[in-house]
Amino acid sequence: MNDFPRIHGKSAEAWTCTTCKTNLTDFTFLMPLRVDSEKRKENADTSISFILRHFDATIIVAEGDESKRYYNDFQTDKFLHCFIHDESVFFHKTKYINRLIELSSTRFIAVWDADVIAPPDQILESVTVLRQGKAIISIPYDGRVYVCDNSLSDLFRRVPRTELLLKLVPALPLMYGHCSTGGIFIANREKYLEAGGENESILGWGPEDFERVKRVEILNQKIHFSSGPLFHLWHPRGRTSWYTDEETEIRNRRELINTCRYEGE
C-alpha cells in the first residue's frame, strides 16, 4: 500500500486494494495538462488517483506552461511527471499528446483529460477490444458526457466511486448531446501513429477529437465505442477550455474540413 498516494485526507488503505487492480501493464495512460485553476489541479489529482487505484499501469503527465504549477505527492514509480516550459497563450494539446505518445513504449495508450472519469468496466471493454485487434481506437463511452456541477464534483473527489455518478445520470445534463468523442481515447500505439497520430495543425481548444475520429474512419480503420457514459468534473472555463481567438477557431475548423475532404479518395 505504500506506493499509493494519500489524497483528500484519505489513507491509501481507504481507497485501494492492490489485488483488485486490473493488470494493464501493456497500456500507458497519458495526460496533457495545463493548470489554469485550483479546480483543474484537483481534477488532475482525482483522475490520476482514480487510474492508479483501479489499474496496474504507468501514467505520464506532460505539463506545459510558463512555470510549473502541478505538484503532487504520488509516491509511486507508476507515475511520471514531465514539465515543458511553454509561454504560448494557447495550450497546444495535440502537440503534447504526440510528445506523450513518443515517451510511451507500451503496445497501447490511453489519452485521458484531467477533468474526466469513466467507469472502470467501460475502460476494460475498450481494453478487450484493442487487445483482440478489433479496433485501433476505442472511445470508452457511448457519446454521452454528463456534466458534474461543483458540488457533485467535490463529492466525487471525496468519495471517488463511479456508482454514485451512474445513479445520478437521469438528473445530470449532457455536455454536448449524444455524439461526443473527446475526454478519453484508447489506442493501439503503433497503428495510431501509422494513421498520423494527433493533428498538430489544430491549435489550442478545438475540433481535434472529431478530426481524430473522422480521419481514422476515412482510413477505413475500426473505431469502437464502449457502452455507458463519461463524466466531466467541474472547473472554471479559462483559456484552455475555449477557442484562443476567432482566427485560430476558423483555422482549426478549416483543418477539420480538410480532413473530411479526403473521404472517398
CATH of the domain at 39: 3.90.550.10
| Highest mean pLDDT: which range of 94-98, 199-203, 243-247 | 94-98
Q: pLDDT confidence of 244, banded at 50, 70, 90?
A: low
Q: Does 47 map to a domain? A: yes
In this prediction the pTM is 0.88
Give dist(CA 189, CA 102) in Å, integer: 9
Q: Does 75 map to a domain? A: yes
Q: Does 251 map to a domain? A: yes
Dump pLDDT digits (tens) for 206-237: 789 999 999 999 999 999 999 999 999 999 87
Q: Does 2 map to a domain? A: no
Is residue 191 over pLDDT 60?
A: yes
Dump pLDDT digits (tens) for 98-149: 999 999 999 999 999 999 999 999 999 999 999 999 999 999 999 999 999 9
Give dist(CA 201, CA 92) in Å, integer: 9
What is the chain's length?
265
> Cβ contacts of residue 246 below 8 Å, gap of 6+?
none
Q: Does 7 map to a domain? A: no
Give dist(CA 207, CA 197) in Å, integer: 15
Q: Does 4 map to a domain? A: no
Contact 181/210 with Cβ under 8 angstroms?
Answer: yes
What is the C-alpha end-to-end distance of the chain, expressed in Å? Answer: 54
Contact 224/135 with Cβ under 8 angstroms?
Answer: yes
Q: Does 198 map to a domain? A: yes
Tally of domains in the chain: 1
Range of the domain at 240: 12-260
Q: Does 249 map to a domain? A: yes
> Cβ contacts of residue 248 below 8 Å, gap of 6+?
90, 203, 204, 206
> Cβ contacts of residue 208 below 8 Å, gap of 6+?
93, 94, 182, 198, 199, 202, 252
Give dist(CA 109, CA 116) in Å, integer: 16
Compute the Cα dihedral for 207, 42, 186, 87 and give only its sign.
positive
